[in-house]
Amino acid sequence: MTAQPSRMHDVTPETRAIVDLVLDYSHRRLLSEDTPLDKPLAAAELTRLAGRTVTEAGIGARKALGLFEHVLAPSCITTDDPRYLSFIPSAPSKAAAAFDLVVSASALYGGSWLEGAGAVHAENEVLRWLADEFGLPAGAGGVFVQGGTLGNLSALVAAREAAREQGLRPDRWRVVCSAEAHSSIASAARVMDVEVVAVPSDDGVLRGEAVRAALEEHQGSVFAVVATAGSTNFGIVDDIAGIADATAAHGVWLHIDGAYGLAAMLSPRTRDLFRGVERADSVIVDPHKWLFAPFDACALIYRDPELGRRAHTQHAEYLDTLTQTSDWSPSDFAAHLTRRPRGLPLWFSLATYGAGVYRDAITSAIDLAHEVADVIEARPGFTLVRRPQLGVVVFERDGWEKADYDRWSAKLLDDQHAFVTPSSHAGRTNARFAILNPRTSLAHLTGILDTMA
Ligand SMILES: Cc1ncc(COP(=O)(O)O)c(C=O)c1O
């Protein structure tokens, strides 16, 4: 039998059938209102159920899709389920999720202006809108990268490069952040071989005074301060304005890690918490978190994008056509080269629904967090660990140990009731609701509390 090399690309009856199958499945899944929460199976069980799927001759689209629908997908937790309240959930709008198909179907390349000008233009309009919301100047700009971890790393690399350009030559480079900062800051520091100065505080809020003291102690070696605009554990927003005073006084780069929380700057209810963001040198926010876009997308914005470009542009003979122009090529602004224009699902959704509904959806999640916090405070046997600022509610069931939380969480998922994983603070295990899905209701949350009786 010949291999028929063009079989995968030519438009044949087989191709039509494959495309129809896949679009039909996607159509059903996108419009489904009763996809179960689902749960992971053990690897051995998946091997047994799925069998060998990668073979020399292929198993055919119908069989492969059937396996996906009936074996593989049910072994993936439904992240857009309103009862998914762990980590930071994802709740893509229907328009954003549907448009993700278009990005793939169109084989768009988002790395260079030459190849993807139209897509990059639309992504840049979204970045411009975000920059305006954050109060950044007209020249601000950046790129959508894979996630907050890569966004933080890329911003910090640009910050160190800028410090080098200014002549700083310490024996050891340092980055200052809160002890509550996300683990991706420590990860970036490891990759960059720099030291993290993690500043503790009693209430988890990093303030200007503490930053000033750290900058004085490590004078001449700090290339960036990271302010967290919504910590992952509690949704705490640092004192960004105070920190901006300290970084300005010392001429140090201010980076805002708003991967989770900066979206709440769109809400009139919480906008003031973020005062000072407009003074940042770089910011990130993840659309795959609270901006209702599908995985995976982080918006990275520089006050002066040229600093990002100088730090990140890759040079090679075959790329000279791209890099010897002044074109805006997204590849140049982060630690990456090939990229899909992952900002487009957010662009389409914003263009479809308008920004107003985003503000409302974010505000209603914050309202719900406050409501359930009130319920927890009033419920005997429960202790609210701290009042929420954004959409994260952390609480303890009095008398429970870690094993109780673990058992309860596993049963909750086993029963397909909800997905709530335990967390911990100051050595004490707790339960944590991360609320952002507009379909999550107070009834869902109180129903979960009832299971902790
Ligand atoms: C504050 C904060 N920063 C960074 C990240 C990392 O983002 P990602 O998971 O997209 O890499 C997260 C993820 O939860 C986060 O909450």
pTM above 0.75, yes or no: yes
**What's the 148 CA to ligand 1 centre distance in angstroms?**
5
pLDDT tens profile 82-92:
999 999 999 99
Residue nearest to atom 16 of ligand 1 (CA): 232
Residue 4 pLDDT: 86
Q: What would you report as the CA-atom Rg of the chain, rounded to the nearest whole angstrom?
A: 24
Strands (E), 149-244: 174-178, 195-199, 222-228
* Contact partners, residue 319, CB within 8 Å, separation at least 6: none
Q: Is the CB of 184 under 6 A from ligand 1?
A: yes
Q: Which residues of the chain have pLDDT under 70?
A: 1-3
Pocket perturbation via mutation, ligand 1, pick of 146, 153, 184, 295 by most ligand atoms within 8 A of CB: 184
Q: Is the CB of 147 under 6 A from ligand 1?
A: yes
pLDDT tens profile 192-206:
999 999 999 999 999
Pocket perturbation via mutation, ligand 1, pick of 152, 286, 295, 342 by most ligand atoms within 8 A of CB: 286
Ligand 1 atom closest to the CA of 231, numbered from 1 = 1
For helices 113-133 and 344-353, give the axis angle rounded to 10 degrees: 50
* Contact partners, residue 234, CB within 8 Å, separation at least 6: 180, 204, 385, 386, 388, 389, 392, 394, 425
**What's the 255 CA to ligand 1 centre distance in angstroms?**
14
> Could you tell me if 91 and 289 are in contact, meaning their C-beta atoms sit under 8 angstroms apart?
no
Pick from 224, 258, 227: which is nearest to 240 by CA? 227
Residue 5 pLDDT: 87
d(CA 129, CA 142): 12
d(CA 14, CA 7): 9
> Could you tell me if 376 and 382 are in contact, meaning their C-beta atoms sit under 8 angstroms apart?
yes
**What's the 260 CA to ligand 1 centre distance in angstroms?**
6
Q: Is the CB of 90 under 6 A from ligand 1?
A: no
> Could you tell me if 159 and 224 are in contact, meaning their C-beta atoms sit under 8 angstroms apart?
yes
Q: Phi-psi region for residue 292, left (φ > 0), alpha (ψ -120 to 50) or beta? A: left
Pocket perturbation via mutation, ligand 1, pick of 232, 236, 390 by most ligand atoms within 8 A of CB: 232
Q: Report DSSP state, residue 70.
A: I
Pick from 161, 227, 160: which is nearest to 195 by CA? 160
The tokens 């899944």 sit on which residue?
29
**What's the 9 CA to ligand 1 centre distance in angstroms?**
38
CA distances from 149 to 187, 188, 293 (A): 8, 8, 17
Which H or E run contains 392? strand 392-397
**What's the 83 CA to ligand 1 centre distance in angstroms?**
20
> Could you tell me if 223 and 175 are in contact, meaning their C-beta atoms sit under 8 angstroms apart?
yes
Can you name the residues that pair with 366 across neighbouring β-strands?
none
Please tell me if the domain spanning 99-353 has the same topology as the one spanning 355-450: no
> Could you tell me if 234 and 392 are in contact, meaning their C-beta atoms sit under 8 angstroms apart?
yes
Q: Is the CB of 232 under 6 A from ligand 1?
A: yes
Q: Is the CB of 298 under 6 A from ligand 1?
A: yes
Q: Phi-psi region for residue 58, left (φ > 0), alpha (ψ -120 to 50) or beta? A: left
d(CA 324, CA 230): 39
**What's the 181 CA to ligand 1 centre distance in angstroms?**
10
d(CA 282, CA 229): 12
d(CA 435, CA 264): 12
> Could you tell me if 120 and 339 are in contact, meaning their C-beta atoms sit under 8 angstroms apart?
no
Q: Is the CB of 270 under 6 A from ligand 1?
A: no
Other beta carbons within 10 angstroms of residue 248's beta carbon come to 11
**What's the 259 CA to ligand 1 centre distance in angstroms?**
5
Q: Is the CB of 260 under 6 A from ligand 1?
A: yes
The domain locations on the chain are 13-76, 99-353, 355-450
Please tell me whether residue 199 adopts helix, strand or coil conformation: strand
Please tell me whether residue 428 adopts helix, strand or coil conformation: strand
d(CA 254, CA 195): 16
- The correct answer on CATH 3.40.640.10 for the domain covering 99-353 is yes
**What's the 298 CA to ligand 1 centre distance in angstroms?**
9
Please tell me whether residue 237 adopts helix, strand or coil conformation: strand
Return the CATH architecture of domain 355-450. Alpha-Beta Complex (3.90)
Residue 144 pLDDT: 99
d(CA 337, CA 358): 31
Pick from 32, 263, 265, 308: which is nearest to 145 by CA? 308
**What's the 38 CA to ligand 1 centre distance in angstroms?**
24
Pick from 183, 86, 182, 89: which is nearest to 405 by CA? 86
Phi, psi dihedral angles at 442 (to 5 degrees): -60, -35
**What's the 73 CA to ligand 1 centre distance in angstroms?**
24
Other beta carbons within 10 angstroms of residue 47's beta carbon come to 11
Residue 3 pLDDT: 61
d(CA 14, CA 279): 56
Vertex 234 angle, CA 422 and 392, to 5°: 75
d(CA 298, CA 148): 6
Per the omega criterion (within 30 degrees of 0), is the bond before 238 cis? no
Q: Is the CB of 180 under 6 A from ligand 1?
A: no
